[in-house]
Structure 1
Amino acid sequence: MTTTVPRQAGETEPTRLSGLATRDLSAWFGAHKVLERVSLEMAAGQVTALIGPSGCGKSTYLRTLNRMHEMVRGAQLGGEVLLNGEDVYAHGRRPAEVRRRIGMVFQRPNPFPAMSIADNVASGLKLAGIKVGRDHREHLIEDSLRRAGLWNEVSNRLGTPGGALSGGQQQRLCIARSLAVEPEVLLMDEPCSALDPTSTRRVEETIAELRGRLTIVIVTHNMQQAQRISQSCAFFLASHDTPGRIVEAGPTEQLFSAPVDQRTADYVNGRFG
């Protein structure tokens, strides 16, 4: 289901909220099966956290959601990924369009270091094949930087290299670059794992500000972070002879305070993983 909410001050168009879901999703790298029949609802306008030990398929699952999984040689997929009820893998659906609607922020900040801050944000438009006039381009740059919580820190130096920013600022610059193309969903693969506590807090504040205006799916190993920023949570688990699957999913508060499965309780309480 798609709904719209008014933009904040300075924004010109309503924001479209889109739900995301998978149905019996399985994934392989060659003959190695890494995900087993994963079904999950990711509610529109909310933050869904994916938690679980390393190697349980969380990041692979995240990459299936915007068709980045298929970019790996030998990768295969079964099941469905549904954006507002429509399969993003359906015949005739262009991967580039899927990745525009479902953006990605990676584990380590990856701005173009020699490119200016402004051009870094606008590069998202170029990569997506979106052409805009100069005035609209400037508006999109400011709007995206504001939504990423970075405008006040860089507004007087938009022409300086993006690589000169701190690690936390670079990560928010990458968020702004993703926001410039107006995605409906934003995927985040451990976006704070390479950051210091202060930068982590600022990125978390940015996520909180975006919630309700975007659907966000985040992989994190930080249990406190999952509790702070997400409204729903999915616990993944795998073993040496069993592919990754969801053990338990539901409201974050319930998953941490009253989990149904003992394995979930053990993991969120630090007894393994």
Structure 2
Amino acid sequence: MSVTPSSAETVEIPAVVDGQGREAARPGGLEALAVSAWFGDHKVLQQVSLRMPAGEVTALIGPSGCGKSTFLRILNRMHELVPSATLSGEVLLDGEDVYAPGRRLTDARRRIGMVFQKPNPFPAMSIYDNVTAGLKLTGVRTGRGERDLLVEECLTKAGLWKEVRDRLRQPGGALSGGQQQRLCIARSLAVRPQVLLMDEPCSALDPTSTRRIEETIRELADEVTIVIVTHNMQQAQRVSDRCAFFLAAQGTPGGIVEHGPTGAMFDAPQDQRTADYVNGRFG
């Protein structure tokens, strides 16, 4: 399969249903099969295949420029937003290709959420409205009482409720950097994703905020599959169940050198390049 940038789509996602009107959170298994990617004529990924099991945290590690963030964006179809971007291969969510013909772009984005490196709450929008913004964007209709419960639930899961419960109507942009990142996590959780992608979510945060984000990641893993890009090897060891080591030799596209359980990747890697990287000998 080859995918080229799609034109803008305007679709409305119907409300998903559980006992309170929404689908209960359920982790989804992701699998990339022979994924290659280009920006124009420049190939940045070569035949990447990786299984990211449901309900686990998979860390993508490797030096800058080896395609980790590009791979992450391919997983929820953000790569195709770049005008020159193309790709080949398949991305399966619970066995179904998210790039299959007729598959809605917004459906992929709802089921596979994203938290970016730099916190990006809507600065003038209240904390409360930031959490519920995704519902409006995906066309999910909820009553006021249900929204109130959802805001508390998602802020609690993101480790932020106790800090902001008395100022929910204040602007999200007034929060600290670490609080803003946790607000973005809460916003992503509100639409009940099966997978949450995180692109270096702690790189701009202080140690205390980083610790809180890491605690949140571990607590969320039971209900949402997490794939995180990180350059912090200690963080990868602390939060992940599995790791994939990406590498790109000079002038060649990136690919996976080795992947497996985190303990094995750090304690007994099979490839010398992996051992050198996780022990700080390059990168």
Unaligned runs of 5+ in 1: 1-6
- Counterpart selection for 1:118 from 124, 128, 131: 128
The residue that corresponds to 2:89 in the other structure is: 79
How far apart are 1:13 and its partner, in Å? Answer: 6.2
The residue that corresponds to 1:4 in the other structure is: none
The residue that corresponds to 1:142 in the other structure is: 152
The residue that corresponds to 1:159 in the other structure is: 169
Residue 131 of structure 2 aligns to a residue whose secondary structure is helix
Unaligned runs of 5+ in 2: 1-17
Give me the whole-angstrom Cα distance separating, in 2, the residues matched to 1:56 and 1:195.
23
Tell me, yes or no, if structure 1 residue 132 matches structure 2 residue 136: no
Give me the whole-angstrom Cα distance separating, in 1, the residues matched to 2:77 and 2:168.
32
Residue 248 of structure 2 aligns to a residue whose secondary structure is strand
The superposition leaves residues 109-151 of structure 1 with CA deviations (integer Å, 9 ceiling, x where unpaired) of 0001111100010111112222211111111111111111111
How far apart are 1:18 and its partner, in Å? Answer: 1.0
Give me the whole-angstrom Cα distance separating, in 2, the residues matched to 1:17 and 1:183.
8
Q: 5 Å matches for 1:91-240?
A: 91-240=101-250
The superposition leaves residues 143-162 of structure 1 with CA deviations (integer Å, 9 ceiling, x where unpaired) of 11111111111111100111
Q: 5 Å matches for 1:3-22?
A: 14-22=24-32
CA contact (8 A) 2:242 2:261 kept: yes
How far apart are 1:240 and its partner, in Å? Answer: 2.4
Instruction: Provide the TM-score with structure 1 as the length reference.
Output: 0.95
Percent identity, please: 72
Tell me, yes or no, if structure 1 residue 44 matches structure 2 residue 45: no
The superposition leaves residues 195-227 of structure 1 with CA deviations (integer Å, 9 ceiling, x where unpaired) of 000000000011011011110000000000000
RMSD: 1.5
Number of residue-to-residue matches in the alignment? 265
CA contact (8 A) 2:120 2:184 kept: yes
How far apart are 1:17 and its partner, in Å? Answer: 2.0
CA contact (8 A) 2:24 2:192 kept: no
More strand by share: 1
Give me the whole-angstrom Cα distance separating, in 2, the residues matched to 1:76 and 1:252.
31
Give me the whole-angstrom Cα distance separating, in 2, the residues matched to 1:114 and 1:85.
40
- Counterpart selection for 1:55 from 65, 71, 89: 65
The residue that corresponds to 1:64 in the other structure is: 74
Comparing 57-66 with 159-168, which one deviates more in the overlay? 159-168
Give me the whole-angstrom Cα distance separating, in 1, the residues matched to 2:24 and 2:126.
29
